[in-house]
Amino acid sequence: MVSDVFKRDQALSLAGPAGALQLAVNTASAAGKLAPTAAVAVICHPHPLHGGSMDNKVVTTLMRGYRDLGVATVRFNFRGVGASEGQYGEGVTEVDDLLAVVAQVRRWRPHAPLYLAGFSFGAAVVANACGQIAPLRHVLLVAPPVPRYNLKAIDAMVPPAAVFQGAQDEQVVADEVAQWAARRGLCYQPFAAAGHFFHGALGQLKDAQTEVLVGLDDE
């Protein structure tokens, strides 16, 4: 039975591995192309020490993309961000935060298709957690910080994955991301005029997200 938690947008708190984790739940559009699947997407935010939070505009753009397709979403603040307790864990213990959130989503909707997405630091966390999460419908990595973090754990990933990268990224070298994605056979999509935060390209990002996810059903 689908939990009432996804029937309205709301703020929640979850007991995480380092204390309370702050969550934002957004309901899905009943008119979306992927509805009514009861699917859920969990979205991870950029670097906690550089202002990253679940309210980041790339993160909220991804949320709207899933929502409009008919996929409910859960965003959360990593430990030490906003009302989430604990301290920054250099991208290592944040994997545990994501796993705790996914475990809760599984309790809410045990059989729902699950999507994971992350932006920048959040993409690194997703990449390193996805080998421990199954089954997954799709993984979306936006501007993964290659080679700043060890992302080898993604090699254990089975579900379809896409990498979105701004060609004008000021913080991540786009060519390195492209080569990293190619070595792993991941779908890679560059955005010619976009920088790291996709200023002026958020609409393009959402459109590309929609195209990739709707295309899963055609494969």
Number of domains in the chain: 1
The pLDDT tens digits for 121-132 are 999 999 989 888
Say whether 168 sits in a helix, a strand or coil: coil
Do the Cβ atoms of 197 and 164 come closer than 8 Å? no
pLDDT band at residue 144, thresholds of 50, 70 and 90? Answer: very high
- Residue 15's region, left for phi above 0, alpha for psi from -120 to 50, else beta, is beta
Please give the average per-residue pLDDT across 20-26, as a whole number. 98
Those residues whose C-beta lies under 8 Å from the C-beta of residue 144, and which sit 6 or more positions away, are: 118, 120, 123, 124, 127, 151, 163, 165, 172, 177, 180
2 pLDDT higher than 60:
no
HSE-up of residue 165 (Cα within 13 Å, Cβ side): 25
Do the Cβ atoms of 93 and 18 come closer than 8 Å? yes
Please state, in angstroms and rounded to a whole number, the distance separating the CA atoms of residues 209 and 128.
21
Please give the average per-residue pLDDT across 170-198, as a whole number. 93
Distances (CA, A) of 187 to 22, 115, 212: 31, 16, 9
User: Looking at residue 122, which CATH number applies to its domain?
Assistant: 3.40.50.1820
The pLDDT tens digits for 35-89 are 888 999 999 999 999 999 999 999 999 999 999 999 999 999 999 999 999 999 9
Residue 156 confidence (pLDDT): 62
The pLDDT tens digits for 154-173 are 666 656 899 999 999 999 99
Q: What is the domain range of residue 69?
A: 4-218
1 pLDDT higher than 50:
no
Q: What pTM value is reported for the model?
A: 0.95
